[in-house]
Chains A and B, each alone.
Chain A
Amino acid sequence: MAFVALGGTATAKKQAPKKAGRVALLLLLPGIAYLGLFFLTPLFSLILTSLKTPSATGDIGRYDYAVEFGNYLYAVEQYMPQILRSFVFAIIATVVALLISYPLAYFIAVKARNKPLLKGLLLTLVIAPFFISMLLRTFAWKQLFSNDSWIVNALKNIGIFGTDSYIIGTDFAVVFGLVYNFIPFMTLPIFANLDRLDLRLLEASGDLYANPFTTFRKVTFPLSLPGVISGTLLTFIPISGDYVVASRDFLGGPDTAMIGNVVEANFLRIQDYPTASALSVLLMAAIVILVSAYVRRSGTDDLL
């Protein structure tokens, strides 16, 4: 969805699709089978694993097939704060990213519309962070915000910060890092949408004595809503499962763990596969509910 527009100013011509033949089947089958085997069945594996019970032999990391719904109860009871925190962080970070990205996308799509060189440059700058490892970027913020960094010292010197205050490990640091990492994901779909905005509509609105604010509220923003929705999904979904930013080795602390951190710890460190899987299934279920509400609004063809 987001990347369609990156391909350029392609105006899709409606082609009358031919009736399916053997060719279509041959073209589709390998890729679809691949996704079936390595995307769909893993989701079933996840559900099966989430219901497993510790092996009778008592070995660590060994589980037998069972129908143990108690795993879900345990996971929710044990990790309620992390589950809630994930969604709160994801909502706040998505809203902040939207507030930062919208004017940026607007400027590139509308103000730079007739300056292809400037537009190309600005778009390159938006995606530039993608080209440097996400982990290095996040680690850079950790260093910049570390306790004896010049930023923190400056904040202390001008008195905004108490002498024993810190940034790393706080909720603020984690949300900050999440917002930073996902600004391009929010900006691109909104840009793609505003790029197609007919500017004559804005003129018309002005001619009808709407002030710029009213024009924005009644014309620009409602028309850009599809872009906003896809940007929001592209930001909210990855953030809700992210565990790098909130990790203690990056911007997080002991009290910032999100659902992803818990899944990572349970799956990869203590090998409690059922609990990790139960949490993943819950996360997926929440996302599916969210996305299907969106699908109902726009149909499946528009998703891609």
Chain B
Amino acid sequence: MKLSLGKYLLPTYVLLTFLFLGIPIAYTFVFSFNDSVKSNIIWRGFTWDNWLNVCNQQEVCDAFANSLIIAASATLIATVLGTMIAIALVRYRFKFRSATNLLLFLPLATPEVVMGAGLAAQFLDFGWPKGMLTVIIAHTMFTLSFVVVTVKARVATLDPALEEAGRDLYANPAQVFMKITFPLLLPGILAAAMLAFALSFDDFIITQFNSGSIDTFPKFVYTAAARGIPAEANVIGSMVFIVAIAIVVTVQVRSSIKQRKLAKK
């Protein structure tokens, strides 16, 4: 009796925890279908309208578009810079190694409000007007370290013998990089890019300090919270959720198929 209780205790706990984690997600989803007028607080019946006419609330759509542009730009820059650093960190020995590691670690250990306020103070000092550009600069900054961490793990698994083989076969450094290093690093780079995109897209605090009058999706939600968030915001939140989950599941299924194939060989 005691044994069987112990056996089911942990799985039950895990199940309950996942239900708990899922509650606000389910709530957001359900209320994206609410036939609400202005504020989306009380359930007034089911409708597809919010999903079909997301851009009825022009501000939500504009904010969403801004978020996509910002996340795409920041991801691109951070992924390029971060990948370069990751390669250097694993492959080369250099003098200021621990200082470099510390500089990369610090942004991960700094509360967002400090980074946000610091950057905003610097933009004030420089006299730079806040806008799209300053948000992209800020997002590139705080996602960079995450890219380095993710790509570094991949570089560390790379066998240098493969590149040596390329060189032995008279490939020049550019060819070695394009034909061997880059393709092998690609899964890590893509994972890093997806992480950077997700972090940038969902960022609120750093954005609020450095965006001026530019609205992003999280910023729109924050401002709208005072008077009630429109159902269209729930629609966009739910859509993003579905797309993200679909990507994660696809990646997982593909990698497990690949592993199974490798195991057969």
> Which A residues have a C-beta under 8 Å from some C-beta of B?
1, 3-4, 6-8, 10-13, 15, 17-21, 23-25, 27-28, 30-32, 34-36, 38-43, 45-46, 48-49, 100, 103-104, 106-108, 111, 116-117, 120, 122, 124-144, 146, 180, 183, 233, 237-238, 240-244, 247, 249-250, 259-260, 263-264, 267-268, 273, 276-277, 280, 283-284, 287-288, 291, 295, 300-301, 303-304
State which size class the interface on B falls in: 35 or more
How far does the alpha carbon of A139 sit from the alpha carbon of B218 in the complex, in Å?
12
Asked if B22 and A4 sit within 8 Å, CB to CB, the answer is no
Asked if A38 and B119 sit within 8 Å, CB to CB, the answer is yes
Could you mark each residue 156-168 of chain B with 1 if its beta carbon is under 8 Å from any beta carbon of chain A, else 0?
1101100000000
* In the complex, chain B residues whose CB is within 8 Å of the CB of A41: 122
Asked if A27 and B252 sit within 8 Å, CB to CB, the answer is no
How far does the alpha carbon of A122 sit from the alpha carbon of B13 in the complex, in Å?
13
* Contact among B95, B138, B256 with A38 in the assembled complex (CB-CB below 8 Å): B138
* In the complex, chain A residues whose CB is within 8 Å of the CB of B205: 241-244, 260
How far does the alpha carbon of A48 sit from the alpha carbon of B117 in the complex, in Å?
12
* B25-72 CB contacts (< 8 Å) to partner A: 25, 27-28, 31, 41
Query: Please, could you name 20 A-B residue pairs with CB atoms under 8 Å apart, sorted by A?
Result: A3-B195, A13-B159, A18-B91, A21-B92, A23-B92, A27-B88, A35-B144, A39-B107, A124-B249, A124-B252, A134-B218, A136-B221, A136-B233, A141-B24, A237-B111, A241-B205, A249-B226, A250-B225, A268-B209, A284-B114
Q: Who on chain A is nearest to B108 by CB?
A: A1
> Which B residues have a C-beta under 8 Å from some C-beta of A?
10-11, 13-14, 17-18, 20-25, 27-28, 31, 41, 81-82, 84-85, 87-88, 90-95, 98, 100-115, 117-122, 124-125, 137-138, 140-141, 144-146, 148-150, 152-154, 156-157, 159-160, 188, 191, 195, 198, 202, 204-205, 208-209, 217-218, 221-222, 225-226, 229, 233-234, 237-238, 240-241, 244-245, 248-249, 252, 255-256, 259
Q: Who on chain B is nearest to A284 by CB?
A: B114
* In the complex, chain A residues whose CB is within 8 Å of the CB of B91: 15, 17-18, 24
Asked if B100 and A263 sit within 8 Å, CB to CB, the answer is no
Asked if A268 and B84 sit within 8 Å, CB to CB, the answer is no
Asked if B93 and A144 sit within 8 Å, CB to CB, the answer is no
Q: Who on chain B is nearest to A212 by CB?
A: B6
Asked if B248 and A7 sit within 8 Å, CB to CB, the answer is no
* In the complex, chain A residues whose CB is within 8 Å of the CB of B82: 31
Asked if A183 and B21 sit within 8 Å, CB to CB, the answer is yes
Asked if A7 and B225 sit within 8 Å, CB to CB, the answer is no
* In the complex, chain B residues whose CB is within 8 Å of the CB of A143: 27, 31, 41
How far does the alpha carbon of A38 sit from the alpha carbon of B259 in the complex, in Å?
41
Asked if A140 and B114 sit within 8 Å, CB to CB, the answer is no
* Contact among B121, B225, B244 with A139 in the assembled complex (CB-CB below 8 Å): B225
Per DSSP, chain A at the interface is: helix
How far does the alpha carbon of A30 sit from the alpha carbon of B95 in the complex, in Å?
17
Asked if B117 and A46 sit within 8 Å, CB to CB, the answer is yes
* In the complex, chain B residues whose CB is within 8 Å of the CB of A273: 121, 124
Asked if B198 and A131 sit within 8 Å, CB to CB, the answer is yes
The answer to whether A132 and B160 touch (CB under 8 A), given A39-B115, A291-B109, A304-B101, is no
* Contact among A27, A126, A144, A291 with B85 in the assembled complex (CB-CB below 8 Å): A27
Which one of B17, B121, B138, B195 has the greatest number of beta carbons of chain A within 10 Å? B121
* In the complex, chain B residues whose CB is within 8 Å of the CB of A142: 225
How far does the alpha carbon of A295 sit from the alpha carbon of B244 in the complex, in Å?
34
Beyond the given pairs A18-B92, A132-B25, 16 more chain A to chain B contacts, judged by CB atoms under 8 angstroms and listed by A's residue number, are A1-B149, A17-B90, A39-B107, A46-B114, A103-B17, A125-B18, A143-B31, A237-B109, A238-B112, A241-B113, A244-B205, A249-B226, A287-B114, A300-B98, A303-B101, A304-B101
